[in-house]
Amino acid sequence: MPSLALLVDLFISTRATHSPPSTPPYCYLENLRAGSVGSAVAYSLLLRQVVADIVLIDINHDLCRAQVQDLSDATFLSNVRIRQGTLEDAQKADIIIITAGAKQKPGDTRLALVDRNFKVLKSILQSLQPIRSDAILLIVANPVDILTLFAQRLSGLPKGQVLGSGTLLDSIRLTRILASKLKVADTSIHAFVIGEHGDSQSVAWSTATVHGTPLLKVLPLTEAERDEIATTTKKKAEAIIKVKGFTSYGVAAVTARICEAIIFDHRQVLPLSHWQKEWDCCLSLPAVLGRDGIISSFPLSLNESEQAFLSSSAQSLKKVIAEYAEEL
């Protein structure tokens, strides 16, 4: 099949129907930043053949070129094309992934990055204009919930098309712990970390299930055990950063999963950072993800104390957002 014709056909068919195309979609993807996270994201996207074209952009041109050269040695596995690009390439991109920005130093909270990364995000979004009206903007840089809201305000795109990787990574970390305790596959467990991808996150224990059976029935954890698991989950990035300076593989795999769900219009329910009407901020709750981005929020019946935790997570995010009211 000629790949150029496929570009248009498959692109239209993934939008028009819910059935996944039988061949890799010939979509175009732009990955802003060739640092640790950006390059790992590119690597997982090309290994999984999520897209046909990957473009990497970084203000550090030499690093970006070297990353592209290195990554191009892996493309023989999948025939995905990868190249270095410029912000003008964004006009052709189906998905724009923003991983640009400062990362936490050991001991930093994610919220401490907001000042620096707001400036980076703002300058990128200005240079991206005019942005394709059906592009999906995926925010990975931290603090991801705050930056997702800022990107919604600054990009002019419909809110559903601007989302953050949120607590999908945290939920996967949690699921791994639970699955290893139960000796079942991760995919048999449905458990969500909700709220901020950061310190105010919480686990929605009451809604967690193992193939439909309440998790706490199959795995009766005491409150202390639950707290310990939640803390290990929350502190995992910190523990890794303390030793290797950054995290990249997990977030890269998660980003590939998100792009897959968008491009193939999977309608998968994933905990992602998206706009919450109740609080006018972005935080993670399960959402249905498809070609148009966030299709809808998926209702989660939290108990009273879980709802209170979620609310306080929203309030702590809103406090930070309020400081930027004049710049948005």
Nearer Cβ to ligand NAG (149/215): 215
List the one residue from 52, 114, 137, 141 that touches ligand NAD (CB under 6 A).
141
Q: How far from 320 is each of 141, 144, 147, 237, CA to CA, in Å? A: 16, 12, 11, 22
Nearer Cβ to ligand NAG (123/305): 305
CB 255 within 8 A of CB 138: yes
**What is the C-alpha separation between 298 and 192, in angstroms, rounded?**
12
The partner in contact with residue 206, picked from ligand NAD, ligand NAG, none with C-beta cut-offs of 5 to 8 angstroms by kind, is ligand NAG
Q: How far from 305 is each of 115, 119, 252, CA to CA, in Å? A: 32, 36, 33
Q: Which is the catalytic residue, given 197, 211, 266, 274?
A: 197
Residue 58 is labelled as binding a ligand: yes
61-67 own/partner pairs: CB under 8 Å, 24+ apart: 63/34, 63/35, 64/34, 67/34, 67/38, 67/39, 67/42
The partner in contact with residue 196, picked from ligand NAG, ligand NAD, none with C-beta cut-offs of 5 to 8 angstroms by kind, is none
CB 271 within 8 A of CB 202: no
| 140 binds ligand NAD per the rule CB under 6 A | yes
Interaction residues for ligand NAD, span 85-114 (CB under 6 A):
99-104, 113
Nearer Cβ to ligand NAG (79/303): 303
Interaction residues for ligand NAD, span 287-316 (CB under 6 A):
none
Closest separation in Å from C-beta 64 to ligand NAD: 8
Residue 55 is labelled as binding a ligand: no
- Closest CA relative to residue 246, chosen from 52, 105, 132: 105
Which window, 88-96, 120-128, 220-228, 308-316, contacts ligand NAD (CB under 6 A)? 120-128
Interaction residues for ligand NAD, span 151-190 (CB under 6 A):
165, 169
Closest separation in Å from C-beta 143 to ligand NAD: 8
Nearer Cβ to ligand NAD (19/123): 123
* Per-residue contact flags (x/-) with ligand NAD for residues 197 to 236, judged by CB under 6 A: x---------------------------------------
- Left, alpha or beta for 238 (phi > 0: left; psi -120 to 50: alpha)? alpha
Task: Compute how many residues bind ligand NAD; rule: CB under 6 A.
Answer: 33
Interaction residues for ligand NAD, span 30-49 (CB under 6 A):
32-38
CB 167 within 8 A of CB 197: yes
**What is the C-alpha separation between 235 and 309, in angstroms, rounded?**
18
Query: Tokens in use for 191?
Result: 């458990």
**Closest residue by beta carbon to ligand NAD:** 35
CB 298 within 8 A of CB 285: yes
Active site residue 197: yes
The partner in contact with residue 101, picked from ligand NAD, ligand NAG, none with C-beta cut-offs of 5 to 8 angstroms by kind, is ligand NAD
Instruction: Return all residues near 103 (Cβ < 8 A) that are at least 6 apart.
Output: 35, 36, 37, 113, 142, 241, 246
Q: Compute the C-alpha angle 324/87/27, nearest 5°.
A: 110
Closest separation in Å from C-beta 13 to ligand NAD: 31
209-216 own/partner pairs: CB under 8 Å, 24+ apart: 210/182, 210/184, 215/178, 215/189, 215/191
CB 100 within 8 A of CB 138: no
Q: Looking at the annotation, which residues are catalytic?
A: 197
Output the known binding site for NAD(+).
Answer: 58, 117, 140-142
Residue numbers of the site for ligand NAD (CB under 6 A)?
32-38, 57-60, 63, 99-104, 113, 117, 120, 123-124, 140-142, 144, 165, 169, 197, 246-247, 251
